[in-house]
Amino acid sequence: MNKRVCGVLGISSIMANWNADFTGYPKTTSAGETFGSDKALKYPMKKMWDNEGKKVLYIKSMKLSENKKKETVLAPRSLKERYEQIFEVKNLKECKDTKEVLTNLFKAEDVKNFGATFAEEGNNISITGAVQIGQGFNKYDGTEPEEQQILSPFRDASKDNAKPDSEEAKNSTLGTKIVSNEAHYFYPFTINPLAYKEFVELGVTDGYTEEDYNNFKRTSLVSATSFATNSKVGCENEFALFVEGEEDLYLPNLSEYIEFEKGNDKNIIQIKCSDLINSLGSKIKNVEIYYNPYTTELQSELKGAKIFNIFTQEEV
């Protein structure tokens, strides 16, 4: 691929929890700003590739194994075991050919896009990904956490020693589900195909190709919508901006130029970097904007930009 890409990916979260911290509440900075980590955006993409039968290395997978008591337990695979599973390698310890390991790593969709840190069995490998995704900050100023109490249909067996007629023995265990009333996250990203130049020279990959880019774009537009877990139902892809340019196109963090506000009938997304991008002239090859026209009004003055319905992928 002989172009550099910069852009923004937008995720809406309605009565859902796009990215929780260890307390269960939506992640916030020390200043109280709600944000989502890059891992929260990458995971649905990796899960989608995995469901499609593509090789994905850095994703949790389970196996049945025996513990020290000879009991069969469910446990996650180690990185070594995951590598052996997806690349059909009998024992990574026996592989002394680093070129073979590198070649295999570049066959994994997540590694080809996001890079890898692989320090296993004598192979200490670091790959800086062609695709770099930043932190996604919430642009809606009305975001508030909502805590829901959940009643379990089962009694708490740990209270069995309580008196049979006590409220403690009768009550079912109580759980909690924490969501945001509404949040709108905007993630900046860049794609630099030259990141793999050295590895191309080593003969372990053909580099970041147009096919890789199209695969990333396809997945980035739908993966959040498709990933419907209990906490993620209500999270959807609602916006995407792709600015394709020459290999020496260097743009600032474009998510800083996106503004979101509530309108009377629809949400309003404003693209405030029109003057910057329009001024670059021939350095810009193509600009594409995807959004949800059913809930959102788009305000943009980007010249020659192609605008698409994010769900139908049809030009509007």
Phi, then psi, of 145 in degrees rounded to 5 = -75, 145
Residues 301 and 163 in one domain: no
Domain around 53: 4-146+177-309
Own/partner pairs, 24-33, CB within 8 angstroms, 24+ separation: 24/176, 24/178, 25/145, 25/178, 26/143, 26/145, 26/178, 26/179, 26/180, 26/183, 33/137, 33/138
Domain shared by 172 and 112, yes or no: no
69 in the same domain as 154: no
The whole-number pLDDT of residue 46 equals: 97
Tell me, yes or no, whether 103 and 161 share the same domain. no
- And the tokens for 137? 């900050």
Say if residue 113 is in the same domain as residue 243. Answer: yes
Integer angstrom CA distances of residue 310 from 58, 203, 222, 258, 303: 28, 37, 8, 17, 20
Determine, yes or no, domain membership for 315: no
For residues 277 and 300, the answer to whether their CB atoms sit within 8 Å is no
Do 301 and 272 fall into the same domain?
A: yes
Same domain, 151 and 226: no
Domain boundary, last residue among 132, 159, 176: 176
Are residue 161 and residue 141 in the same domain, yes or no?
A: no
pLDDT at 120: 84
Distance CA 194, CA 212 (A): 13
> Is residue 244, in this structure, part of any structural domain at all?
yes
Which positions ≥6 away from 182 have C-beta within 8 Å?
A: 12, 13, 14, 15, 140, 142, 143
Domain boundary among 156, 176, 196: 176
Contact 125, 119 (CB under 8 A): yes
* Nearest residue to 114 via CA among 179, 58, 65: 58
Instruction: Give CA torsion, residues 195, 284, 288, 49, to 10 deg.
Output: -10
For residue 54, give the nearest of 102, 132, 111 by alpha carbon.
111
Residues 35 and 59 in one domain: yes
Same domain, 279 and 185: yes
Asked whether residue 163 falls in the same domain as residue 297, the answer is: no
- pLDDT score, position 276: 95
111: left (phi over 0), alpha (psi -120 to 50) or beta: alpha
Instruction: Give the C-alpha distances (Å, rounded to integers) separating 156 from 143, 175, 178.
Output: 34, 11, 22
- In this structure, the answer to whether residues 129 and 66 fall within a common structural domain is yes
Q: Is residue 314 part of a domain?
A: no
Q: What type of residue sits at position 191?
A: I
Nearby residues of 93 by Cβ (< 8 Å), 6 or more positions away: 121, 122
| Domain termination residue (choose one: 155, 176, 197) | 176
Q: How many domains does the chain have?
A: 2
Instruction: Report the chain (316 residues): mean pLDDT per 10 consecutive residues.
Output: 97 95 94 96 96 96 87 92 94 90 97 95 90 98 91 70 58 79 97 97 97 97 85 89 96 97 95 95 96 96 96 94
Q: What is the pLDDT of residue 161?
A: 62
